[in-house]
């Protein structure tokens, strides 16, 4: 009887152990799938930014060479580089953050960089304006403002409090320097310089995409092994 009970107990223990191992594998696999989904979303955002930067670089190059054809718009007036109230508010808020203020709206604050969600930045812009001038803005509008004034940032998607949000990561020194250049003069910067700036941003985005693709490849290999 004791032998029989011992055998039954052994089978139960073995079954529990097998279930625990399988459960652990399933959980790990789900984590890898979630990570893959986040990497794919981040890559998609980078590709969109890359397309916008390429378009801006082409326009800047064409205007620098003073090309005029029926298919190409006339050079933009210098006023188009002057920040409007909304854009100025974005620049002012980013400048304040770089100077150590507005810690409470940041997603993460480090020595040289800071991270902020598009939602938080947009909300702070709204608060800084009179009610009569507040209006709904698509969150993608923030990206266009940063691109217009040559402010470099890393943009990615992250799940925060069960919601997927867009997060911007800024280098404090570079951001402050770009803002000073954007606000120090009311005249339009040389298009040749702008074109160079866009090329540098495109190179940076390409590097980020390559890094993401390597991470995705490694994850795919892990998922493939986990499926066996």
Q: Is 29 helix (H, G, I), strand (E, B) or coil?
A: helix
> Does residue 52 lie within any of the structural domains?
yes
Contact of 49 with 57, CB cutoff 8 Å? no
Specify the pLDDT at position 58. Answer: 80
- Domain-embedded: residue 55: yes
CA distance 85 to 83: 7
Range of the domain at 183: 47-68+77-215
Are the beta carbons of 140 and 119 closer than 8 angstroms? no
Q: Is residue 171 part of a domain?
A: yes
pLDDT for residue 113: 92
**How high is the pLDDT of residue 62?**
64
Separation CA 99–CA 191 (nearest Å): 29
Specify if 57 maps to a domain: yes
For the chain, list residues with pLDDT below 70.
Answer: 1-22, 62-81, 132-139, 185-193, 227-228
pLDDT of residue 97: 92
* Residue 165 is assigned to a structural domain of this protein: yes
Beta strands in the chain (DSSP E): 108-109, 113-117, 154-160, 163-171
Q: Is 148 inside a domain boundary?
A: yes
85 inside domain: yes
Q: For residue range 176-218, list pLDDT tens digits in order.
A: 888 888 777 544 445 556 777 888 888 888 888 899 899 888 8
What pTM was estimated for this model as a whole?
0.48
Q: Burial letters for 187-204: b for 16+ Cβ neighbours within 10 Å, e otherwise?
A: ebbebeebbebbeebbee
Tell me the backbone φ, ψ of residue 109, rounded to 5 degrees.
-125, 125
User: Considering the domain boundaries, does residue 103 fall inside one?
Assistant: yes
The burial of 166, by beta-carbon neighbours within 10 Å (0-12 exposed, 13-18 middle, 19 or more buried), is given as buried
Q: How many structural domains are present in the chain?
A: 1
């Amino acid at each position: 009887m004791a032998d029989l009970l011992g055998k039954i107990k052994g089978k139960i223990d073995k079954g529990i152990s097998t279930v625990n191992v399988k459960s652990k594998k399933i959980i790990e696999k789900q984590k890898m799938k979630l990570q893959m989904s986040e990497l794919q979303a981040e890559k998609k955002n980078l590709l969109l930014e890359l397309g916008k930067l390429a378009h801006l670089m082409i326009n800047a190059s064409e205007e620098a060479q003073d090309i005029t054809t029926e298919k190409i718009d006339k050079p933009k007036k210098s006023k188009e580089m002057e920040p409007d109230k909304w854009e100025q508010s974005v620049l002012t808020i980013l400048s304040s953050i770089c100077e150590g203020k507005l810690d409470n709206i940041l997603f993460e604050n480090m020595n040289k960089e800071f991270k902020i969600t598009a939602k938080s930045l947009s909300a702070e812009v709204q608060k800084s304006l009179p009610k009569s001038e507040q209006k709904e803005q698509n969150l993608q509008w923030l990206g266009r403002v940063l691109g217009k004034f040559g402010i470099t940032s890393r943009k990615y998607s992250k799940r925060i409090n069960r919601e997927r949000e867009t997060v911007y990561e800024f280098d404090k020194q570079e951001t402050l320097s770009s803002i000073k250049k954007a606000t120090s003069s009311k005249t339009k910067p040389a298009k040749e310089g702008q074109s160079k700036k866009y090329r540098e941003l495109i190179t940076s985005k390409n590097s980020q995409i390559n890094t993401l693709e390597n991470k995705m490849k490694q994850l795919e290999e892990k998922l493939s092994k986990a499926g066996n």
